Structure 1
Amino acid sequence: MKTCKEMAEVWNVTERTVTTFCKSGKIPGAIKDGRIWKIPDDAKKPVDGRVSSGKYIKQAVAKEKKPLPIGISDYVRAQSEYYYVDKTLLIKEFLDQKPLVSLFTRPRRFGKTLNMDMLRAFFEISDDDTSKYFKDKAIWNCGEAYRSHQGKYPVVFLTFKDVKFDSWDMTFAKISELLQEEFGRHMELCESDKLETYELDYFKKILGGQANEVELSSSLQKLSKMLTEHYGKAPIIIIDEYDTPIQEGYSKNFYDEIIGFMRNFFSGAFKDNKNLSYGFLTGILRIAQESIFSGLNNLTVNSVMDEEYDNFFGFTDSEVHEMLDYYRVLDKEMELKDWYDGYLFGNEEIYNPWSVINYISKGCIPQAYWVNTGKNEILEDVLKVATDDITERLYALLQGERVIARIDQNVVYRSLSEDPANIYSLLLVAGYLKIPKKELQADGSYLCEVSIPNREIAAVYKSEILSHLLQIGAITRTTANKIAESLYVNDLKKLQTAIAEYMDKTISFYDAGAEGFYHGLVLGLIALMDNQYKIKSNRESGDGRYDISLIPREKKYPGIIMELKWKKGLAADELETLAEEALIQIDNKRYDFEMREDGIENILKLGIAFSGKEIKIKTE
């Protein structure tokens, strides 16, 4: 008889999955001895509908299960028509702490908009009985002290998640349209006998889309005053993805205009506004240095480094396990964890919710789903300003290592060009890094060990690096395709030609004698080949040598060893001699020993010499 742990190793599933099989009676002969399940040695792994065919899973889900809420940010619809992960205890935690204004900073697609709409649906006064949307949720079991807040507040709700335009004029027009719609949600004010004539005139001006920039910048302040007068209770103001237009302003050169508007807009809503019960904002960055929240001493910031609210954005391990069990794909738990887990919010390990629901709904096929949900401007900007030190650290991160970085939570978008070292702070809050270890410094920043969270984010890095190399001309699409094709069909000769083309392009583009060349070279190889290879390098800058080993992850691929040598001012015959020396050195120093010990017999050896922009490659 075997234990659940032993059988989990045999079946390549989690121990929890085997325990679930036992509890549900799906393993014939399994018996419980005290608190331990014992399983016959010859027991067969239950099929239980757990097939890898995406088509079957999607058909089964469509017939038997609720669909997953891909792209659904409407709480009422999400919890009634789709599989909903209950995050309503966020309401309890908020009501326990009662901060006046809360800012939640999390990466995109981590459930910020859905959570904010949940808060709106819970707190907002409505003609309908909206308590029915919460009676089967966790918050309803917390007692009358919490239920008494349901449906008792006027609410102002704005989401800026789609305010992505190329100019300030277009951005302002969209913000005006959003405010027009939100004022339209409060048409009861038009009939109110508690408002002054000038207030009604202002309301109608916004409703008609006739307000100028100055008038619109005070709209939240004026609307909150009118709602307080009408209802006799100050409203809750919710601003979702407040920094989306700010990021667009940074990348599209209207930064000063958007910052100037937002400063007045938010100041009227949240600073010394007596007509405010509570305020909520979400975004990616905390932009304190821009004085958007200047003087706002009632703002409570909850970032990815804070323990409060750490399990309410994204999915926890238990929530993912329950979801996989519901869709009968528990055997995919380890794969899903490898690809989409690994974020650390406060002390909680978190899965990317967007990727998890896409993975399950698309037949449990692992892909980089998150990368397709928006632009990766932050990574693009990092590669544009990357120093040699930063490039080397990116290389280390992609090899699965941890690097030391100082994290400043007050970093702003434009600080990247002022100090490239700020990239780690931006990458962290945007979801491209996690912090396994941190230490608070005297200046309020953190000295941290950072690493890449999971396989999906590693794939995003590689995709962006490859796009960058293509964009700047360090490599051509033809060469990249040739490498991919030769690996796919295991054509050693074609692979050799493709690598030679890559080396030639790289050396021609970069300054071949500089450290940046080496780092760019290896980063490119990782982007091109890391799915098939583990890449090791041993730089020795003294004599210019830099040998690179590409160790195949599967035995069907050849091993690749490159020995690089360079000298200044070599003639063609001298360059050929140096390349020959590099090739001989691979054999003399037995660089292939490790690969052959691992059973890799097919090894491609490349002796590469270059001088200035000239290159010569010798192979066996």
Structure 2
Amino acid sequence: FGFTQQEVNELLNEYNFLEQKDEVKEWYDGYLFGSTEIYNPWSVLKYVLKAIQSKPEPESFWANTSSNELVVNYIKQSDQVLHDEFEILMQGKSIIKDIKPELTYRDMDNINNVYSFLLLTGYLKIKRQVNKYTYELIIPNKEVYEIYHQSFMDYFTEYKASKKNKFVEALKQEDIVQASTILVSLMKKSLSFYDNYESFYHGFLLGLLDNYQVESNREFGDGRLDIVIYPEIFQDKAIVIECKHSKNADYLLKDSQEAIKQIHDNHYLEGVLEKGYQDVVGYGISFFKKQCYITKININ
């Protein structure tokens, strides 16, 4: 299943790299079979081969052989908690989780089994057993840390960026159902129930739009609009957004319509057209905790 410490020492000594044994241990050791700690054999051999051909320099060889597709699927199902727990692990700290000792293919599709999968596939190791099915888990070595750093955390960023782009595209296409679905999904992954006030939601939307040309809280028309998203070319569609915070879920529709009235009464859409843009759509978005309601307004 792997190399023991003695076997690694003998291999390094054979090729005059014994001085690198501490580096090799830091990068490729850390797995347990029973009570025996072993090294990743593939990576140790790749390290030695690279050292012979050029110079002894560690890297995450395992990252180049694993597709990590199941981890990507877990990330797509995940919320902010998984992201934060990965960050804790990357700080060299441990987390305590319940573990299923065996996983079927069906089990692997369940986000609740993510840590069982990561442990059974070598992305984590047991630091100690808390009780029968509960363990304290850590990242086993620096090679695996690099996979978290270079791959897993990037997947979080890429997936969220994809969602943000789809949200804006849904607004451009005036697909309120799709836009609402994406926005609720992003809120569930990112927000706490304590993040429940208007200025927070305004800032949250701005965070989703950080790759777009946006103006916020500017004098516009006959008022001060919340957000306008400008397209790259004048022929494309601009988007005006007015945010409202509802005191409970029953007020979401009413508050969204109130936001639309504000866009209409203050002539925000006309103000965008006066800048030379040829098309514009407005949205009133009301928020309550992790729920929202979107209402649309066009130029009459």
TM-score range normalised by the length of the shorter chain: 0.5 to 0.7
SS state at 2:145 partner:
helix
Question: What is the identity, as a one-letter code, of the residue corresponding to 2:7?
Answer: E
* Structure 1: distance between partners of 2:3 and 2:78: 33
* SS of aligned partner of 2:102: coil
Question: Larger strand proportion, structure 1 or 2?
Answer: 2
Equivalent runs, 1:46-195 vs 2, <5 Å:
none
For residues 541 and 451 of structure 1, what CA distance do their matches in structure 2 show?
29
Q: Is the 8 A contact 1:368 1:456 kept in 2?
A: yes
Distance (whole Å) between structure 2 residues aligned to residue 360 and residue 475 of structure 1: 42
Does residue 340 in structure 1 map to residue 31 in structure 2? no
Matching residue's letter, 2:120:
V
Q: Give the SS at the match of 2:105.
A: coil
Query: Which residue does 2:74 correspond to in 1?
Result: 382
1:320 alignment partner in structure 2: 8
TM-score (norm 2): 0.54
The alignment status of 1:365 with 2:86, answered yes or no, reads no
Decide which of 22, 26, 37 is 1:349's aligned counterpart.
37
Does the 8 Å CA contact 1:406/1:447 hold for their aligned counterparts? yes
Query: What is the one-letter code of the residue matched to 2:15?
Result: Y
Letter in 1 for 2:190: F
- Counterpart in the other structure of 2:275: none
Q: CA deviation at 1:426?
A: 1.2
2:130, 2:185 → 1: CA distance?
39
Distance, in Å, in 2 between the alignment partners of 1:395 and 1:575 is 37
Distance 1:354 1:345 in 2: 16
Q: Moved runs in structure 1, 4+ residues, more than 2 A?
A: 387-392, 467-476, 509-518, 540-544, 565-571, 573-576
Question: Paired residues, what number?
Answer: 188
Q: What runs of 5+ residues in structure 2 fail to find an aligned partner?
A: 165-181, 204-215, 219-223, 227-284, 286-300
Distance in 2 (alpha carbons) for counterparts of 1:513 and 1:368: 32
Q: For residues 575 and 366 of structure 1, what CA distance do their matches in structure 2 show?
A: 54
Is this contact kept in 2: 1:434–1:453, CA < 8 A?
A: yes
2:122 maps to 431
Corresponding residue number in structure 2 for 1:572: 217
Structure 2 Cα separation of the partners of residues 321 and 470 of structure 1? 41
Kept in 2, the 8 Å contact 1:378–1:427? The answer is no
Structure 1 residue 373, shift from structure 2 partner: 2.1
Give me the whole-angstrom Cα distance separating, in 2, the residues matched to 1:407 and 1:323.
Answer: 35
Contact 1:510-1:516 at 8 Å conserved across structures: no
Report the counterpart of residue 420 of structure 1 in structure 2: 111
Secondary structure of residue in 2 paired with 1:431: coil
- Root-mean-square deviation (CA, aligned residues, Å) is 3.4
Pair 1:464-2:152 in alignment: yes
Give 1:421's aligned amino acid.
N
Distance in structure 2 (CA, Å) of the matches to 1:566 and 1:516: 19
For 2:135, which of 448, 451, 470 is the aligned residue? 448
How big is each residue's C-alpha offset from its partner over 1:73-112, in whole Å with a ceiling of 9 and x where there is no partner? xxxxxxxxxxxxxxxxxxxxxxxxxxxxxxxxxxxxxxxx
> 2:185 & 2:78 partners in 1: Cα distance?
17
SS of residue matched to 2:88: helix
Amino acid in the other structure paired with 2:116: S
5+ long unaligned stretches in structure 1:
1-312, 477-508, 519-539, 545-564, 577-611, 613-620
Q: Aligned in 2, Cα 1:384/1:542: closer, same or farther, shift over 3 Å? A: closer
Q: Which of the pair has the greater relative contact order for Cα pairs under 8 Å at 6+ separation?
A: 2
Instruction: Tell me, in whole angstroms, the C-alpha distance in 2 between the residues paired with 1:575 and 1:333.
Output: 62
Contact 2:79 2:188 survives alignment (8 Å) = no
SS of alignment partner, residue 137 of structure 2: strand
**CA shift at 1:434, angstroms?**
0.3
| CA offset digits 1:366-417 (Å, max 9, x no partner) | 1110122232222122212223333322221122211111111222122233
Amino acid at match of 1:370: W
Counterparts of 1:418-567 in structure 2 under 5 Å? 419-441=110-132, 446-462=133-149, 463-467=151-155, 469-470=157-158, 473-474=161-162, 514=187, 516-517=189-190, 567=200
Does the CA-based 8 Å contact 1:343-1:453 persist in structure 2? Answer: yes
Paired residue type of 2:29: D
Q: Per the alignment, in what secondary structure is the counterpart of residue 112 of structure 2?
A: helix
Q: Is the counterpart of residue 329 in structure 1 residue 21 in structure 2?
A: no
SS at 1:567 equivalent: helix
Query: Equivalent residue of 2:135, what SS?
Result: strand
Q: Report percent identity of matched pairs.
A: 34
Paired residue type of 1:438 = Q
Q: SS at the partner of 1:390?
A: helix
Asked whether the 8 Å contact 1:469–1:475 carries over to 2, the reply is no
Summarize the Cα distance change of 1:410–1:543 in structure 2 as closer, same or farther, 3 Å threshold. Answer: closer
Query: Is 1:439–1:447's contact at 8 Å kept on the other side of the alignment?
Result: yes
For residues 260-310 of structure 1, the C-alpha deviation after alignment (integer angstroms, 9 at most, x for no partner) is: xxxxxxxxxxxxxxxxxxxxxxxxxxxxxxxxxxxxxxxxxxxxxxxxxxx
Do 1:383 and 1:465's aligned partners in 2 also have CA atoms closer than 8 Å?
Answer: no
Larger Cα Rg: Structure 1 or Structure 2?
1
For the structure 1 residues 384 and 514, does the alpha-carbon distance in structure 2 shift closer, same or farther, using more than 3 Å as the test? closer
Amino acid at match of 2:49: S
